């Protein structure tokens, strides 16, 4: 197990370094002088010279990369061209909002999808299964941004019961502001989980040990929850972690639709504003979250399913 | 185009103008014709992105799976690295460098979408290359390039077609997302994503401007997914559930 964890940790570190190369190259691949790209248009020659000094832009590329990595580790990745503040400080401001949103999305989709998946599997090809599958299919095919706009149309414009934009103040107001974006962000994840729980349950219900459990005369409830569900959920655990990446990608869209001040909307605004220092920081942060999440998930998976460890 | 035709209701509504079946937008443009023109962008981008991503992915995956060892290790680490960044973020970053435009979107989706194809191709290659006919080909002295193109890739076609048709829906979805964010196809070309984005400002008076393109988009994406699932069931009975 320790060997497996070590190997997995090594590949994670390599991945993070790889992503850091992408982030590093970004302003250097863009057409133009990186020192000008990393500074706003109205910067004086003096400031541009400082930027060149700060990032070591007069040195060879590998030394520039070294400077970049050292700055990244010191959490000093320059200032945002739009806000003029440190990029790391800006991320710190927006980060909690995205976490709240992702948590709401994650929790509701897991709570809803596991029972629905089981229900569909136990009633295979009967009405509950057909309805649940239709629901899951819609969740998979309906674009998040459009679903968000439709919900704004219904709940904010027509019925006027939920806020459409922003984040709100105070606990209840904030919670109200999380309902629509949280629902939208979790919807495609929910659809994926339902399909997965359903197909894993169907698979497991055909296994010999389930038949044995039935033959022993165990109650149906015990067979389903103790024997079938536990095994069906193992692959689901992987998806729970891997989909953190999906939630980040989704937050880019969802936060933009609902004008929700989080990292996703910040990303879109930074890209639209060609704010390279901010985008560099965001790419690193997103990759760090995603890679650590999949590392943790793989370790849990290796623990749950010993076959993985010995590959 | 008279200004009076701005935001007129869809022809199927009771107070609508029958001349505009799906109504008009804030510039008086017919929503239905823009949806029809938007289909061109969605389908062209989707199909060409599948071809682009598929070609890169199949070649990389086949090479990795066939040669194994360090080649496999290096290529697959590269794929892992790409998959370590959320796809949409990667696409946005590439758009930032390349700029918007329909063919740039195809390029972006190919550059980010090949990773999945490479994974699948490698997996299938690993099992196919152990089969006897590969050994037979090698024993009569066939070169690696001939074995890969004549014996390996034909056996990969079924799973790749299945993945490709499923990815078609994903790419159409991705194009509309990029255009919605204003980072895909420029605004002078009608696309479903940008139509939905533009209709957002008129939700309180004109529901149809955002709603109708979205319905068409959803049906198209679902259609591509269903098509992919159907193909998978037809070509690979083992996966049928």
Question: Looking at chain A from residue 154 to 193, which residues have their Cβ under 8 Å from any Cβ of chain B?
Answer: 157
Which residues of chain B register pLDDT less than 50? 1, 240-241
> Domain segments of chain A: what residues?
94-310
CB–CB contact A149 B210 (8 Å): yes
- Look up residue A224 and give its two tokens: 């389903």
Handedness of CA A178, A180, A186, A190 (dihedral sign): positive
Q: Report domain B29-240's class.
A: mainly alpha
> B81 — contact with chain A (CB < 8 Å)?
yes
Tens digit of each residue's pLDDT (9 = 90 or more) over A103-148 = 999 899 999 999 999 999 888 889 999 999 888 888 888 998 999 9
Residues on chain A touching B96 (C-beta within 8 angstroms): 26, 30, 271, 274, 279
> B210 — contact with chain A (CB < 8 Å)?
yes
The one-character DSSP state at B100 is: S
Residues on chain B touching A144 (C-beta within 8 angstroms): 177
Predicted confidence at residue A308, as pLDDT, reads 62
- Look up residue B115 and give its two tokens: 């990773």
Tens digit of each residue's pLDDT (9 = 90 or more) over A48-60 = 888 887 777 778 8
Tokens 């939905």 map to which residue? B196
Predicted confidence at residue B241, as pLDDT, reads 43
Contacts of A52 (CB under 8 A, 6+ apart): A35, A58
CATH, domain range A94-310 = 1.10.3720.10
The residue among A143, A155, A188 with the most chain B CBs within 10 A of its CB, best to mutate, is: A143
> A111 — contact with chain B (CB < 8 Å)?
no
Predicted confidence at residue B188, as pLDDT, reads 82
Nearest CB among B84, B176, B204 relative to A19 is that of B84
Q: What is the pTM of this model?
A: 0.85
ipTM, interface predicted TM-score of the complex: 0.83
Phi, psi of A250 (to 5 degrees): -65, -35
Tokens 């460098």 map to which residue? B97
Predicted confidence at residue B218, as pLDDT, reads 93
**Most distant pair of Cα atoms in chain B: their distance:** 78
Residues on chain A touching B183 (C-beta within 8 angstroms): 268, 271-272
Measure the CA–CA gap between A263 and A282, rounded to whole angstroms: 8
> A272 — contact with chain B (CB < 8 Å)?
yes
- Exposure string over A190-228, b if 16+ CB within 10 A, otherwise e: bbbbbbbbbbbbbebbeeeebeebeeeeeeeeebbeebb
CB–CB contact B96 A283 (8 Å): no
User: DSSP H helical segments within chain B, as ranges?
Assistant: 31-67, 69-83, 87-98, 102-128, 132-139, 144-146, 153-180, 192-199, 208-235
Which residues of chain A register pLDDT less than 50? none
Tokens 């992915």 map to which residue? B57
């Amino acid at each position: 197990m320790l060997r497996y964890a070590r190997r997995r940790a090594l590949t994670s570190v390599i991945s993070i370094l790889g992503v850091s190369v992408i982030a590093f190259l970004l302003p250097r691949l863009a057409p133009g002088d990186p020192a000008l790209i990393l500074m706003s248009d109205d910067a004086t020659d003096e400031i541009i010279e400082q930027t060149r000094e700060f990032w070591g832009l007069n040195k060879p590329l590998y030394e520039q990369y070294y400077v970049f990595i050292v700055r990244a580790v010191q959490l000093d990745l320059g200032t945002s061209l739009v806000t003029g503040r440190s990029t790391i400080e800006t991320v710190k401001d927006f980060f909690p909002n995205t976490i709240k949103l992702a948590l709401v999305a994650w929790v509701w989709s897991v709570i809803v999808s596991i029972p629905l998946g089981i229900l569909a599997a136990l009633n295979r090809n009967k009405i509950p299964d057909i309805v649940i599958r239709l629901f899951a299919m819609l969740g998979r095919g309906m674009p998040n941004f459009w679903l968000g706009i439709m919900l704004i149309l219904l709940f904010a414009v027509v019925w006027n019961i939920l806020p459409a934009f922003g984040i709100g103040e105070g606990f209840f107001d904030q919670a109200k502001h999380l309902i629509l974006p949280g629902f939208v962000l979790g919807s495609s994840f929910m659809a994926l989980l339902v399909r997965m729980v359903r197909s894993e349950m169907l698979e497991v219900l055909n296994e010999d040990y389930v038949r044995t459990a039935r033959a022993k005369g165990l109650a149906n409830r015990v067979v389903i929850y103790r024997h079938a569900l536990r095994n069906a959920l193992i692959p689901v655990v992987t998806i729970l972690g891997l989909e953190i990446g999906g939630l980040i990608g989704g937050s880019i869209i969802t936060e933009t639709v609902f004008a929700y001040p989080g990292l996703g909307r910040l990303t879109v605004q930074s890209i639209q504003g060609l704010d390279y220092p901010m985008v560099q920081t965001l790419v690193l942060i997103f990759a760090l979250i995603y890679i650590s999440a999949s590392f943790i998930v793989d370790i849990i998976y290796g623990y749950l399913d010993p076959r993985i460890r010995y590959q | 185009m008279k200004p009076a035709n701005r935001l007129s209701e869809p022809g199927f509504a009771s107070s609508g103008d029958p001349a505009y079946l799906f109504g008009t937008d804030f510039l008086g443009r017919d929503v239905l014709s823009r949806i029809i023109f938007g289909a061109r962008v969605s389908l062209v981008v989707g199909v060409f992105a599948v071809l682009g991503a598929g070609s890169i992915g199949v070649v990389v995956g086949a090479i990795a799976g066939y040669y194994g060892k360090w080649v496999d290790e290096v290529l697959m680490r590269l794929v892992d690295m790409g998959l370590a960044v959320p796809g949409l973020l990667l696409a946005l970053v590439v758009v930032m460098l390349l700029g918007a435009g329909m063919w740039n979107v195809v390029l972006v989706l190919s550059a980010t979408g090949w990773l999945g194809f490479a994974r699948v191709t490698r997996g299938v290659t690993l099992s196919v290359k152990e089969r006897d006919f590969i050994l037979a080909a090698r024993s009569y002295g066939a070169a690696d390039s001939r074995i890969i193109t004549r014996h390996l890739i034909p056996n990969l076609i079924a799973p790749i077609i299945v993945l490709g048709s499923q990815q078609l829906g994903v790419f159409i979805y991705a194009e509309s997302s990029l255009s919605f964010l204003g980072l895909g196809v420029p605004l002078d070309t009608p696309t479903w994503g940008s139509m939905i984005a533009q209709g957002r400002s008129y939700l309180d008076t004109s529901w149809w401007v955002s709603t109708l393109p979205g319905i068409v988009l959803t049906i198209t994406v679902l259609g591509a997914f269903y098509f992919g699932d159907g193909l998978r069931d037809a070509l690979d009975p083992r996966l049928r559930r």
